[in-house]
Structures are given as C-alpha cells and as structure tokens.
Structure 1
C-alpha cells in the first residue's frame, strides 16, 4: 500500500504576512544552529513585490510549512535585467524529505520566468550541504561569489539559466 504525500498548495504572500514571518523565524533559528548566527544580508520588503520579486508560502491543510522567494538583482556594471536571486528557501523540519523544496523552487522559477528573469542566482554555505544538493540536482552550477557574504570562504554561489516560459 503506497502512502501519497499531501499536495503542497503554494500561494503568493506579502513579506509582512504572518505566515511568512512565522516561517522566517523558524529559518533564522535554523541559521543559528547551522551558522552560529542569523542571516544578516539586507532584505527590503519591496524586493518581493511584483514585478521586482515574489514571496511564496507552501501549505499543507492550511498550515504554512514551506517558503521561498526571488527578487531581481543588479549585476555589476549592468542593469541586472533578467537576473533573479533566490532567497529564504525553507521547509519546516517536520515536512522535509517530501520534495516540497523542489516544488517551491519550481514555482519560484516559473514565477521569475513570467517576470522576465532568464538567469537565477543564489548564495548558500558549505555548512548547508542539503541546500547545495537540492540546487545542484536542479541544474545550478558554481558562479563567482557575490553579495553580502561574497568574502566568506564558506559561501557557495550558484546559478542557472532559466529557459523562456513555453
């Protein structure tokens, strides 16, 4: 007898939404356990307002259990048009191992494509091998370090092209 996992219902949410704030609190707790401190990279609520970006929450039976976001980024010496950055990917530990992170990632990439993003980047860290494995399995490859943690020797920066929406 096969047990089917509940389908993750993914909804766009404002960065200030209570479900987002709750999940961010859990994510920051995870960062403290993995990295010894919370994430201090700058985040602006407006970064996640379409068309500049989108924040999403995944629900199981109306309970927020996963989240992620993308935002447009400027590239050095250029407009940054067509570049997006993944932020705040997280799945509640009780719901890990069920492909929900992949579902959030796919949803975010589709949303980004719809807003003209052609290349997605992200920062993670050697202390977070499960995140690195997720992104590599989705086709992300090493890129030069960038952003708030560019000079941290444990930073891992990844990116991949997004094919146009069909």
Structure 2
C-alpha cells in the first residue's frame, strides 16, 4: 500500500498553468479509457479566476500529482442559493490511494466556504466508482442531474452543504 501523502502541498494556480494543463490532459486521457472519449463539456478558464472560482494543483515532493477546482454555479441544491461546482478532481495513478483526493476535496470545501459558498455540487460518471465512493463517504448526497451531462445515463450528480 502506498505511503500516506503527508507532504502534500496544494497551490492555487491558473487553469492555464503548465502543471494544471498537464494534469487536465491526463484526466482527459482517463476519460477516453473509461468512456471512449474526452469530456466535451464547456470550460471557460475565466470561471476559475476571482471572483468566480479557484483552480488548485497538489504537489508531492515538488511533482504535480493532483488537481481540483471550483466555479460558481447557478444550480440550487439542498436549499442553498449560493453554490459552486467542483471540477477537474484528479489524482495521477502513482499517487492514488494515499488520501490525496480527500484532502483536495476538503481544500475545495474550505476555500469555497471562505468565499461565501453554501453548498458544493458536482457531476461524475458511473464508470468512476472510486469518485462516487469518495463523494458519498465525504457527505455528498445524490441530487437531480444538472449541467452539460444532465440527461446522460452515465452521469451522477451530488451536493453537500458546506456553510449554514
């Protein structure tokens, strides 16, 4: 079993940062393996800049191993009017099963709450059972579909209140 990721450092970077782009491409390659194609949902890099959102890269020993981001969302879930959507959660295979995704998710929750977000929403796919397990075990609950993949049989949506 891999060692815990005690020395994980999470930095805010633009989605256009080379380390972010490297990992975003890696997750796209993972989607090709699991779903047969890239995620074609629209992403505007400005969504991850102030005041709309944040993008983060996690580093182990200076090596980029994880991403996570949030962007403000019009979706109302769990009675919350102010929500943000979790995007681009990913951990490279060599660093998986070390608690990195859970730590990144907690970082997203903390930074979004600090900006007045009351709930996080997210969409993932049924061919990512480890992601679904992470979200369920972190207190997220199923919510009706939303966004670009809302009508896809492969899509599952979740939400969690993080403030109030």
For the aligned pair, the TM-score class normalised by the smaller chain equals over 0.9
Are positions 1:144 and 2:148 aligned together?
A: no
Structure 1, unaligned stretches of length 5 or more? none
Shift, 1:163, TM fit: 2.6
Mapped partners of 1:5, 1:112: distance in 2: 23
Structure 1 residue ranges (4+ consecutive) displaced by more than 3 angstroms after TM superposition: 3-6
Shift, 1:87, TM fit: 0.2
Structure 2, unaligned stretches of length 5 or more? none
**TM-score, normalised with respect to structure 1:** 0.91
Are positions 1:63 and 2:63 aligned together?
A: yes
Alignment CA distance shift 1:64-1:150 (3 Å): same
Aligned length: 159
SS of 2:146's equivalent in the other structure is coil
Q: For the Cα contact (< 8 Å) 1:72–1:81, is it kept in 2?
A: no
Greater shift after overlay, 4-13 or 89-98? 4-13
Task: State the match for 1:27 in structure 2.
Answer: 27
- Once the two structures are superposed, residues 19-68 of structure 1 have per-residue CA deviations (whole angstroms, 9 ceiling, x without a partner) of 00000111000000111100001100000002210000000111100011
Mapped partners of 1:45, 1:51: distance in 2: 12
Mapped partners of 2:81, 2:50: distance in 1: 14
Mapped partners of 2:154, 2:13: distance in 1: 31
**TM-score, normalised with respect to structure 2:** 0.93
SS of 2:147's equivalent in the other structure is coil
Mapped partners of 2:115, 2:20: distance in 1: 22
Shift, 1:106, TM fit: 0.6
CA RMSD of aligned residues (A): 1.5
Task: State the match for 1:95 in structure 2.
Answer: 95
